[in-house]
Amino acid sequence: MARITSFEQYQSEYKKSVENPEAFWEEIANEFSWKKKWDKVLDWNFEKPEINWFIGGKLNITENCLDRHLEKRADQVAFHFEPNDPNENSRAITYRQLYEDVCRFANVLKSKGIKKGDRVCLYMPMIPELAIAVLACARIGAIHSVVFAGFSATSLGGRIQDMHCCAVVTTDGAYRGAKPIPIKAVVDDALDVCPSVENVIVYKRTGEEIKMIDGRDTWWQDEMKKVSAECPAEIMDSEDTLFILYTSGSTGQPKGVVHTCGGYMVYTKYTFENVFQYNDKEVFWCTADIGWITGHSYIVYGPLLAGATSVMFEGVPTFPDAGRFWQVIDKYKVNIFYTAPTAIRALQASGLDFVNLYKLNSLRILGTVGEPINEEAWEWYHKNIGKGNCPIVDTWWQTETGGILISPIAGITKTKPGFATLPLPGVQPVLVDEKGNVIEGNNVEGNLCIKFPWPSIIRTTYGNHERCRTTYFTTYENLYFTGDGCRRDEDGYYRITGRVDDVMNVSGHRIGTAEVESAINMHFDIVESAVVGYPHDIKGQGIYAYVISTKEHDDIEMLKKEILAEVTKIIGPIAKPDKIQVVRGLPKTRSGKIMRRILRKIAEGEISNLGDTSTLLDPSVVDEIVKGRV
Ligand code: PRX
C-alpha cells in the first residue's frame, strides 16, 4: 500500500525504503501498467554516473496517465482550464477528451515524420494544448523539451540547436496579464539559426497576424482535423528518455537535464499522492508554468498518473487584480493549492482586502515550492489563506531531482515555518562540510547531498555526460550534490538555506550569474561585468550587476536601459538586473579571480564587514564600489 496515512507509517515506510530500496520501489512500481515488467529494479554508480531503474521494463507513461483511467474516469475532468481573461469561457477537459486529443496530436506528429527519439521543442503559453503536446510526444516516444515562453529568441534558438530538434510546437501569441505577447514571432527569430527544424505547428490562440512559412509551418487546428483519435502507444524502455528540460547552473549555458520514462513515472505519482494526500474527486491546483519542472511533474504527469482533477491557469496572480488566485480557488472549489513563496509575498503586499472578498473554504492543503519561504510569508499564508487549518507542505526539490525529495506529508508530518522538514521515503540526504566529510548528528549545517539514488534522479545532461558528472557527482565522492546549503535542527528537520554556488533564485526562477554576465557583456560598451544575488523582499533574490564600460557615459540611465534590453534579448525579462552599478574596476585577486564574496556583501549592504581585502590586486576599487552603491 503506497499511500501513507500516519506518521508511524511514514517512519516505517522510510525505514523500509532505506533498508531495502529495491523491494520498496518494486512494490510501488507494481501498481502501474507495464508492457513488460523489469528484470532488475536498480543498478547504480554515482562515479560514472550511471543510474538505471526498472531495468528491462517496458511501458508508455501516457497509458498510465490516460488509457488506464478510461474505464472509471472517462467523464471526470482532468483539467479545468482557466483563461487569462476571467470573462472568457473556461474549458473543462475530461479524461476521454484528453486521451482523444493526445492521440490526435500524436498522429499529427507522426504525419510529419516525427518518430521515437526525435526531439520536439514546445514553446507555448499555459493552455491545455501544451499538456496535450507534451503527452503526444510521450505517446510516440518523441522527446519533449518545453521552453518557458518567457525566454528570448536567442535562448530558445540555443536550446533547439543544442538538441537538434526536428520540430517546434507553438502558438500565434499568448495572453498573460493585460497585454498579449508575441510567441510565433519569437520562434521565427530563433529558427533563423536552427536548420534542423523542418516543422512548426502553430495553435491559434490570439488570432493575431503572424507569418506562416510555406512547407514548414502548419496550423494545429487544421492538422487535428485530418487524423484519427486513436494512436497506439509506442513501447518504451524504462530508461528511454522521456524529456529534456534546460536549467541554469553556476557556469556556462543552461544544460539539458534528462529524465527517463520508468523511474520518473513511479516517483512523480508516488510523491503527488503522498505529499499532497490527494483524495479522489478533489481539485488540485499547481500555479507553476509547464515550462518549469514543477509544471512537468505536478501539473502534467503526477496528477494525471493519479487520475486527479487539476486547474490549469493561463494568467498571472495580479490580473485583473491581486484577488485572482483566490477567485479561481472559489470558482473551482480548489482543495489543494500549490504555489511559490514569491507569489505569496507579492499577494501579501497587496493587502487583505483582495483575500477577504473570497471564501476559500474549499481549501484543505497548501503547498510551496521553488525557494526558501520566510517565516512571515509562511504565517500569512497559513493564517489568511488556510484560515489556520490547512497544513502547509514546503516542498524542496530541483529540476534534476524530477520530484519532491524533502517535504512534510500533508497533515501527517508536523510542520515548522521555513522547514522542508523530513526526507520522503527513498530519499537519503546527508550534510557535508567543505572537505566532503559527512556531518552527523543534529543542530548542524552544511552542503546538502543525497547518498542513494531515487527513481527520478537526473540521468545525464543532454549531449554532454561529462558535464553531468562534474556538476553533480564529483564535488563530493559518491554523493549527488544539490548545490544547496542546509541546516538540520535539533529534531532532524531540514531547512534549506539557499544556493551555495553561483546560481541565483529570482522569484523562484533559477538563473546563473555567468549567464547574466555573458548577456551583459554582449553590450558593445561593456568590457566586463560581475553579477550577484541580494535579498529582495518580494523576489527572494534580486540581481545586482557591476559593469565596467569602455568609455565615460554622460547618460548612465540610457546605458542601464540598453543593458536591460540586451539581457532581455539574450535571455528574457526574468533575468533583468534589478540594480546596475557602473564601476571602474572589480575586486580581483592577483591571479585575476573576481572576489564575489565582497561584491555580494556590498550588494547586501553589509559594508562594515567586508573581510580581508589585502590580497586584492587593487584594494582601492572596493572603496569606490562602496561609495557608488545603488
Ligand atoms: O535552491 C533550491 C530552490 O530551487 C532550486 C531548484 O530550482 P529548480 O531546478 O528551478 O526547481 C524549482 C522547483 C522544484 C533548489 O536547488 N528550492 C526549491 N524548492 C525549495 C527551494 N529552496 C528552499 N525551499 C524549497 N522548498
510 lines ligand 1 (CB under 6 A): yes
The whole-number average pLDDT for the span 364-372 is 97
Write the burial class of residue 550 (CB in 10 Å: 0-12 exposed, 13-18 middle, 19+ buried). exposed
Residue 570 in any domain: the answer is yes
Residue nearest to atom 15 of ligand 1 (CA): 398
Among all chains, which residue has been given the C-alpha cell 524542496? 396
Going from the Cα of 417 to the center of ligand 1, the distance in angstroms, rounded, reads: 16
Handedness of CA 520, 522, 524, 529 (dihedral sign): positive
The whole-number average pLDDT for the span 48-70 is 98
pTM of the complete model: 0.97
Residue nearest to atom 21 of ligand 1 (CA): 371
Report the nearest atom of ligand 1 relative to the CA of 407.
26
Residue 23 in any domain: the answer is no
378 lines ligand 1 (CB under 6 A): no
Residue 431 in any domain: the answer is no
3-state secondary structure of 321: coil
372 lines ligand 1 (CB under 6 A): yes
Mean pLDDT, the chain, rounded, equals: 97
Going from the Cα of 368 to the center of ligand 1, the distance in angstroms, rounded, reads: 10
Q: Which of 369, 373, 475, 486 to mutate to test the pocket of ligand 1 (most atoms within 8 A of CB)?
A: 369
Going from the Cα of 339 to the center of ligand 1, the distance in angstroms, rounded, reads: 12
Going from the Cα of 77 to the center of ligand 1, the distance in angstroms, rounded, reads: 30
What's the grid cell of residue 206? 490570439
* Per-residue pLDDT at 2: 78
Residue 518 in any domain: the answer is yes
Report the nearest atom of ligand 1 relative to the CA of 399.
9
- Percentage of the chain surpassing pLDDT 70? 100
> Per DSSP, what are the bridge partners of residue 423?
406
Alpha helix positions (H), 252-349: 261-275, 293-295, 302-305, 324-332, 341-349
Residue 598 in any domain: the answer is yes
pLDDT in tens, 472-509: 999 999 999 999 999 999 999 999 999 999 999 999 99
What's the grid cell of residue 503? 546560481
pLDDT in tens, 501-548: 999 999 999 999 999 999 999 999 999 999 999 999 999 999 999 999
The whole-number average pLDDT for the span 128-142 is 99
* Per-residue pLDDT at 615: 85
Going from the Cα of 510 to the center of ligand 1, the distance in angstroms, rounded, reads: 8
* Per-residue pLDDT at 128: 98
Domain at 508, CATH number = 3.30.300.30
Residue nearest to atom 14 of ligand 1 (CA): 398
Identify the band that residue 106 occupies on the pLDDT scale cut at 50, 70 and 90: very high
Query: What pairing do the DSSP bridges indicate for beta strands 526-536 and 540-549?
Result: antiparallel
* Per-residue pLDDT at 1: 54
Identify the band that residue 327 occupies on the pLDDT scale cut at 50, 70 and 90: very high
Identify the band that residue 287 occupies on the pLDDT scale cut at 50, 70 and 90: very high
Going from the Cα of 389 to the center of ligand 1, the distance in angstroms, rounded, reads: 26
Residue 401 in any domain: the answer is no
Going from the Cα of 264 to the center of ligand 1, the distance in angstroms, rounded, reads: 18
Going from the Cα of 199 to the center of ligand 1, the distance in angstroms, rounded, reads: 34
157 lines ligand 1 (CB under 6 A): no
Handedness of CA 349, 351, 354, 360 (dihedral sign): positive
State the Cα–Cα distance between residues 126 and 294, nearest whole angstrom: 13
Going from the Cα of 397 to the center of ligand 1, the distance in angstroms, rounded, reads: 5
Q: Is pLDDT above 70 for 100?
A: yes
370 lines ligand 1 (CB under 6 A): yes
Which tops the pLDDT comparison, 105 or 552?
105
Residue nearest to atom 6 of ligand 1 (CA): 398
Spatial neighbors of 510 by CB under 8 A, at least 6 apart, are 247, 248, 399, 503, 504
Going from the Cα of 500 to the center of ligand 1, the distance in angstroms, rounded, reads: 12
Range of the domain at 511: 503-627
272: nearest Cα among 166, 397, 376: 397
* Per-residue pLDDT at 611: 83
* Per-residue pLDDT at 614: 84
395 lines ligand 1 (CB under 6 A): yes
User: What secondary structure does DSSP assign to 477-521, as a single string?
Assistant: TTSEEEEEEEEE-TTS-EEEEEESSSEEEETTEEEEHHHHHHHHT
Residue 533 in any domain: the answer is yes
Which tops the pLDDT comparison, 237 or 2?
237
* Per-residue pLDDT at 73: 98
What's the grid cell of residue 214? 510555406
* Contact yes or no for 496/484 (Cβ under 8 A): yes
What's the grid cell of residue 22? 529495491
Domain count, the chain: 1
Going from the Cα of 226 to the center of ligand 1, the distance in angstroms, rounded, reads: 42
Residue nearest to atom 11 of ligand 1 (CA): 398
205: phi > 0 → left, psi -120 to 50 → alpha, else beta; which?
alpha
Spatial neighbors of 356 by CB under 8 A, at least 6 apart, are none
* Contact yes or no for 512/471 (Cβ under 8 A): no
| Number of neighbouring beta carbons within 10 Å of residue 553 | 14
505 lines ligand 1 (CB under 6 A): yes
